[in-house]
Every structure is written in C-alpha cells, then in structure tokens.
Amino acid sequence: MKVQRRMAFHFTYQLVVYSILIFVAMIVLFLVLINKITNEDLKRNFPAGALSSIVAETDYSRKEIKMSTHWKELIEERDMWLQVVDSKGQVIYSVHSPIEQPTSYSITQLLAIQQSEKSGIYTVDNELDLTYSTPLLFLLGYKNPQQEKLTAWYMAYQQNGLVNEAYKNDLLTELRKTNSYLLIVDQEGKSVQTIGDQTSAIDVYEPLEVLTMQQKPGDYDTNIFVYQPENSDMTWILHTPNEQITYTKQPILSEAIRIFIWIGGSLLLLSLAISIWHGYRYGQPLILFAGWFERMGNGRYDEVLTPKDRKKVFRRSGKLRIRYRLYREVIAAFYQMAERLAQTEKDRRQLEKTREEWMTGISHDLRTPLSTIQGYGYILESSPAQWSDEELRDMGKMIREKSSYMLELMNDFSHIYQIKHGTVDMDRHEFELGELVRRSVLKYVNDATLAEVDFLYEGDELPVSLYGNPKWMQRLMDNLLSNAVKHNPTGITVTVTCGMLNDDAYIRVSDNGRGMDEATVNKLFERYYRGTNTEESSSGTGLGMSIAKMIVEAHQGRIEVRSAIDEGTSISIYFPSD
C-alpha cells in the first residue's frame, strides 16, 4: 500500500507539474511571440511609435530612471538621442544626447518643441508621462534629412503651391539620385502634379491614408515625408524607397494563425520530449526487473544485479539513483526474496548433504556392533556345545555391550532431533548452577574406573542462579566431562570452574591432554554431520559435543573452545544470568 500511495502521489504531482509547465510554456511562448511581433513591427516603423514604447518600459518608481539596455543600444545605433525632463525643466536622464542640446528647458522652449516638433536640426517626438507623482517629459530627437530636403525644395522650386515649370528638370534630377518621386495633392487628396519616376503613385489619397503611411512606414514600399505650407491648399508628399526590408502587410487573422501554429508545434515537441523521457524513466526499471525475473527463474539467485545493472541503479556512494527511488521497496523486496531463495537453496543442499552424512554415519556406526552381534549369533547357533561357560559369558557380555552402544546411539540421535526441532520437553525453573556442576564433578571423582584421571572443581563462594532445565544441564556436564576423559590418555587433570563473569554465569572445563588442531576445533560441533568415530564405539557415540552445543543454545547461551596440540583443551560456556 505504501508503494501504491507513493506511485499515485508521484504520478499525480507530476501530471500537475507538467500541466503547469506546459501552461507556463504556452504563456511564455505567447509573450515571446507577441514581443517578437511587436519588436518587428517597431523595427519596420521606427521611429514611429517608439517613444510610447520607451515611456511604457521606463521605470521611475524609486526616483531613478531605469531603462532597458536594448532601447539605449537602439537609440545609439540609429544616431538618435533621448532626454527626460522633470517638472522643473531639468534634464534628469539622457541617452546619446548631443552637446548642443540644453540640459534644462524653459516653458517657451518646451512649448516651441511641442508645437513645431523641432529642436534645432533635429525632429523631436515628445510624450508626457503622468504615471508618477512628478510628471516627466520624454524627448526623442533624430535627424530627418528628407524632411529638411523637402522643405528646401518647396522654398526653391514652388510657384503657387506647385513646382515651377522652369525647375522641373532640376528637381527631377535631385529625385532620381534617391529613386524618389514627389506628389502634390489638393485638399481632396487628388494628385495635382507628379514629379519623378513613379510606378505605384496614388491618384487619390483617402483622408487617413497619409497618416497611416506615416505611422506604419514598414507596411509600405516607400517612406513618405509631408510638407504643408501655410496659406496654401496644396500638400507636398515625398516618396522615398523604404531603406528597411520590405514587409508585406499581413491580416491580423493570418498572424494569429501563424502564432498558434508556432505555439502548437512547440508544445507538440515539448510533449514528445516529455513522453520519451517518461518512457525512458519508467521503462528502464521495468526492463531491469524483467532481467531479475529471468535470472531468478534460472536459479541464479546470487546475480540479482549484474555489475552493469548495479552501476545503473546505485551511485558510487551506494545510494539509489533518482529514477529508481520510486521503486526502492520493490528493489529491497527483490533483494530479500533473492537472499531467501539463495539461502533456501543453500539450506536444501546442506540438508541433502546432512541427510547423506547422517545415513552414512548411522550405517557406519551401526554396522560394526551389528557385525559383532551377528558373528557371535552364528557361532552360538552353529556349535554352542563347543564353548565353555566362561567363553559364553564373554560372548554374552560383548553382545550386551554392543547392544547398549546401539541403544545409546539411537537415544542420542533422538535427543539431537528433539532439541533441534524443539519437540523435547524443556521444563525450566531456577536452580543453583554451582551445586549442579560440583555434583557432576563429584560423580566422576567417585568413579573407580577413572582412578587415573584427576578432577578439580573451582567454584565461587556466592551461589550462581540459573533459569533452565537441570536434567539437560546434567547431560551437558556428563558430555563435557566424558569427552575430556575419552579423547585423552590416562594421567591427565580435568579442571572444572563455575561462577559469574560480568553479567554472565559460566562453566569452564579444561584439561592438559593432547589437545586438537584448528581444523578439529572448527568441526568439533559438526561431527555428527560426518558420522562418528567407530574406533571408540564401545565408549560413546561421538555425538556428545553436538548435543552439548544444542543444550547450550536451548538455554540462550554460547560455547567457546580453545585448544592446541599438546597444550590441552578449554571449553567455556556462558549463560545469561537473568
């Protein structure tokens, strides 16, 4: 459920984020396109309408003029100048302002500039900004040689508002130098006189057509300059070739369609990129999982991740990469499942090996006493009268000993199974460990058959309490002591110590016998897996240490062995006291 909730949340928030990103991208693209169209329109018609854009994009909210860099660059590039005048007539900001322009203006100067739109040799556009608490006047000046030339021609060549016939050729020569032509129209907008090589001259102008051509020169093939003298009904209109690239006037609908096609194509590419990224991000882990399933299906549990896969999934620091963090529980579950399956397979092989060893050991241990019993049985069956009473008693004794050994072997096998599988009745209660150990040692001290072995007991004066089963603890002591006697020559000393060490109760059985090598120590408690030593079949089953370890572990204790060849053996057992 945790993975499901996180995946649901993950995909939901990603959908929301992607939707927001696409929406923002649409807005940004739309604004970029609008800005591009506006800039292109401004470039086509510059400087018409430029001052309004400059005023709109200039900030004076903190008593400081802040203007975009591109406006400064454009003003300098077009050899224009800009001044911002405050309410006191002082120029508080300027761009590329010529030296001859004043740094402060009087009322008369400003009114003259506003009415004539001229300042010296410059044509000046002006606009008053009342947005802020202090009104600001923006002056944008630029040279207009064509306008000045048109004015000069009028002064030199006109007669009654028209071009004097005597000067037509001179004016025509001037016009041809710039591929221009001159139209003179009356109050109705009708062409009265045309001078120059015109190909698309207009015979009649609509009332707003001249104004439109002045405001939107980029939409026409030519720029126009108009001179309307006082006390005259005639208007001189000079057409000069458009120096900028010729643009075809486009309807608003066509421009809008082009914008939306551009935006739609961009969004399509963005969606395609996101889809490819999603497919790679969420498909890569699935391909990886498929490889896991294939390897696990083939039983290669130790190859959950190949070295190549590991580099894909984990960083050098061991942390999961971002694209796989969504599946961290799945990856962890795969690892756990692979480990369990690998352990199960290992246990199965070990169980099979153990079963074979058990069968081999049991067969091996039972074969020798059974062969002895069977041999004596044949002897007694074939010729019982030939044997004396003493020989018959020896045969009976041998049969009894071998039978007792076989019974003890079967009991030990039964105990091992019961302890290992928890089926034995382990009645636990508190008892005094030191007294139990002391009595166990005393029993061996009093055994007349062990007269050549010295037993020493060293115990704490304070009682050592332990919670467990005294019967099984007694079996533990018997196994440890008999093991020390059985595997050593006569004349050794067995020392038994019991007491408290830190918070643990302990028992230590040490001898000064022949000792064991490291390989024997490591396999001491696994001996029953390999079968027992039949050379000692009459003195034990060879399973005593295996049973001892199981008893210790059943009491939540631990057992340690230290031994070396010819230096004796020390077996220490520790039990938690509480």
Q: Are 109 and 102 in contact (CB under 8 A)?
A: yes
- Residues 138 and 151 placed together within one structural domain of the fold: no
pLDDT in tens, 362-414: 676 677 678 778 887 887 777 666 777 887 888 888 888 778 877 877 776 67
At residue 541, does pLDDT exceed 60? no
Same domain, 454 and 433: yes
- Residue in the structure block whose two tokens are 């896991």: 292
End position of a domain, from candidates 314, 334, 351: 351
Q: Which amino acid is at 498?
A: C
Instruction: Give how far Cα 65 sits from Cα of 24, 49, 52, 68, 81, Å.
Output: 31, 20, 16, 10, 16
Q: What percent of the chain has pLDDT over 90?
A: 13
- pLDDT over 70 percentage in the chain: 78
Q: What is the reported pTM?
A: 0.37
For residue 462, give the H/E element and its range.
none
| Alpha-carbon span 252 to 353, nearest angstrom | 89
Tokens of 142: 């630029």
Q: What is the predicted pLDDT for the residue at 224?
A: 79
Q: Give the residue ranges of DSSP H helices in 298-327.
A: 307-313, 322-325
Residue 455 has pLDDT above 50, yes or no: yes
Same domain for 535 and 442: yes
In this prediction, residue 492 carries a pLDDT of 93
* Claim to verify: residue 299 and residue 319 sit in the same structural domain: yes
Q: What is the DSSP letter of 528?
A: G
Between 436 and 298, where is the model more confident? 436
- CATH code at 552? 3.30.565.10
Higher pLDDT, 246 or 28: 28
Q: Average pLDDT for residues 304-311, to the nearest whole number?
A: 70
pLDDT mean across residues, the chain: 78
In this structure, the answer to whether residues 118 and 198 fall within a common structural domain is no
Report d(CA 549, CA 573) in Å as an integer: 9
In this predicted structure, what is the pLDDT of residue 47?
A: 64
Task: Give yes or no: residues 436 and 515 share one domain.
Answer: yes
End-to-end, the C-alpha distance of the chain in Å comes to: 41
Place of tokens 């108009």: 226
Residues 455 and 569 in one domain: yes
Say if residue 550's pLDDT is above 50: yes
If asked whether residues 545 and 462 sit together in one domain, one would say yes
Is residue 64 within 8 Å of residue 72, measured between CB atoms? no
Residue 301, in any domain of the structure: yes
**What digits encode the pLDDT tens for the residues 321-359?**
776 776 777 777 777 777 777 788 788 887 787 777 667
Least-confidence region, from 50-59, 72-81, 229-238, 533-542: 533-542
SS3 content of the chain, % helix, strand, coil (to 5): 55, 20, 25
Is a pLDDT exceeding 80 seen at residue 248?
no
Q: Residue 529: what pLDDT?
A: 40
What pLDDT, on the 0 to 100 scale, is given for residue 81?
92
- Residue from 312, 293, 315, 313 nearest 304 by CA: 293
User: Parallel, antiparallel, or unpaired for β 454-459 and 493-501?
Assistant: parallel
497 band by pLDDT with thresholds 50, 70 and 90: very high
- Confirm whether 339 is domain-assigned: yes
Encode pLDDT of 162-183 as tens digits: 888 888 888 888 888 888 888 8
Look at residue 501 and tell me if it is in a domain.
yes
Looking at per-residue pLDDT, the higher value among 294 and 397 belongs to 397
> Which residue type, as a one-letter code, is found at position 240?
T
Predicted local distance difference test score (pLDDT) of residue 216: 67
Q: What is the pLDDT of residues 223-243, one digit of tens each?
A: 778 888 877 788 888 888 876
Among left, alpha and beta (phi > 0; psi -120 to 50; other), residue 164 is: beta
- 175 and 115 in a common domain: no
Residue 80 lies in a domain: yes
Whether 221 has a pLDDT exceeding 70, the answer reads yes
pLDDT of residue 209: 73
Does residue 429 sit in the same domain as residue 565? yes
> Coil, strand, or helix at residue 84?
strand
User: Residue 527 — pLDDT band, cuts 50, 70, 90?
Assistant: low
Q: Which residues contact 337 (CB under 8 A, 6 or more apart)?
A: 296
Q: Is 92 within 8 Å of 58 (Cβ atoms)?
A: no
The tokens 């083939």 sit on which residue? 298
Neighbour count for residue 103 (Cβ, 10 Å): 12
Across 102-106, 279-283, 326-330, 546-550, which has the greatest mean pLDDT?
A: 102-106
| CB-side neighbour CA atoms (13 Å) of 141 | 22
- CB distance 167 to 218 below 8 Å: no
The pLDDT of residue 244 is above 80: no
Q: Is the model more confident about 359 or about 576? A: 576
Lowest mean pLDDT among 134-138, 253-257, 318-322, 449-453: 253-257
pLDDT, average across residues 74-82? 87
pLDDT of residue 426: 67
- 447 CB neighbour count, 10 Å cutoff: 13
Domain holding 172, by residue range, is: 146-249
Q: What is the per-residue pLDDT for 530?
A: 42
User: Comparing C-alpha atoms, which of 355, 352, 360, 292 is closest to residue 324?
Assistant: 292
249-292 tens-digit pLDDT: 444 445 656 776 777 777 777 777 777 776 666 666 777 777 77
Q: Specify the amino acid at residue 527.
A: R
Tokens of 54: 């400059």
Does residue 145 or residue 530 have the better pLDDT?
145
Helix, strand or coil, per DSSP, at residue 395: helix
Which residue shows structure tokens 């696409």? 22
* 412 within a domain of the structure (yes/no): no
Choose the final residue of a domain: 310, 330, 351.
351
- Please state the domain count of the chain: 4
Same domain? 438 vs 568: yes
Q: What region does 309 belong to: left with phi over 0, alpha with psi -120 to 50, or beta?
A: alpha
d(CA 442, CA 455): 8
Lowest mean pLDDT among 85-94, 313-322, 431-440, 527-536: 527-536
Residue 386 lies in a domain: no
The reply to whether 408 falls in a domain is: no
Q: Which CATH number is 189's domain given?
A: 3.30.450
Please say which residue of 97, 116, 143 terminates a domain.
143
Q: Is the pLDDT of residue 110 over 70?
A: yes
| CB of 237 closer than 8 Å to CB of 226 | yes
**Residues 242 and 301 placed together within one structural domain of the fold:** no
For residue 466, tell me if it sits in a domain.
Answer: yes
pLDDT at 563: 92
